[in-house]
Amino acid sequence: MNTARRVFLGTAAWTGGISALHMGLNVNWSEISNSFRSRAQLQTLQVGGLPVTCNLTLPIACEARNLDTSVTRANFDYKRFSGWPEIKESLISGSINAAYMLAPLVMDLVTKDVPVKIVSVGHRSGAVIMVRTDSSYRKFQDLAGKRIAIPSRFAVDFLFLRKMLAKEGMSEKDVKIIEMPPPDMPAALYAKAVDAYCVGEPFGAAAQRAGYAVPLRMTRDEWPNYMCCVLTVRQELIDQNPRLVQDLVNYVQGAGHWLDAERSHRTRAAGVAADKKYFNQDRAIIQYVMDNPTDRVTYGDLRMIKEEFDDLMQLSVQAGTIKAPIAFERYVDNRFVKAAQPARIAI
């Protein structure tokens, strides 16, 4: 158990309870918005993210932008959060103007009239379903009645699990689903407290690298255009400083192209992201995600494709995450991706 837990030294603690934050939102958003100082004069743009490889384009974008002295607009300040609920509440309150968020969470916020929009995709693929190396589980029928951990029913990982169960003629009712903070999942599998877990990286790779877990399914094989983390900004920032939003999108898009262009770039990225000002993680674990295999998470295709968002929305409706379909235009502003000129990444 201690060996499994040591894998995560330096990883920020994960806070659960996302579902609770979807209850009781009764806020006068226009009144709050009027109290904010103008975003047009921002000298530093804080962008929230989690220490997960699905967010890797963000520290790369921040590092590259802040090293580029030829640009006189605002710098990007990466603000590390411990869980989605904290990012969500900070975005709602306006204490940050931009963040990487779970796409279904953004959809849900929009239904509650929170003024936010998705302006870019952050990654592709990057989720895994892990089982013990010494287990006999090789297909989902083997997991009937078994305990499977997920981060939250609002996580896209849960939708991935539902898709894989359906593919083999099963449903979530055929297994015992447990919500659990991702950093606890490898240790829980090691101790046999759960039989499998579905999660985004690096929490699958850490257990695999330690030798006691193997992937049962990976999104790279089953759902290559999978996405969960999307760049989300407050509407006030879009209205008051669209040039800065475009700048941020340009750097995120540039980071995605750069990460997939050369393997050496991924090695450099692991070093950047591991730093205490970004993920504050073991560099070797991030590097393992980058290499095993190299398309475990991909970043080069960050297009905003309506049909993919519609599919994700329908899966969320079927899972009960979202109560009713939402028009694409309500939660996405794709002008910035369409106008994007991917920034040069020099780190």
User: Domains, the chain, ranges and CATH?
Assistant: 31-123+226-338 (3.40.190.10), 126-222 (3.40.190.10)
Averaged confidence pLDDT in the chain: 89
Query: Looking at 19-28, 89-98, 272-281, which range is the least confident one?
Result: 19-28
Bridge pairing between strands 196-200 and 147-150: parallel
**3 state SS for 256-304:** HHHHHHCHHHHHHHHHHHHCCCCCCCCHHHHHHHHHCCCCCEECCCCCC
The tens digit of pLDDT for each residue in 118-168 reads 999 999 999 999 999 999 999 999 999 999 999 888 899 999 999 999 999
Banded pLDDT at 4 (limits 50, 70, 90): very low
pTM, entire model: 0.86
Query: Looking at 12-26, 227-241, 245-259, which range is the least confident one?
Result: 12-26
Question: How many Cβ atoms sit within 10 Å of the Cβ of residue 159?
Answer: 26
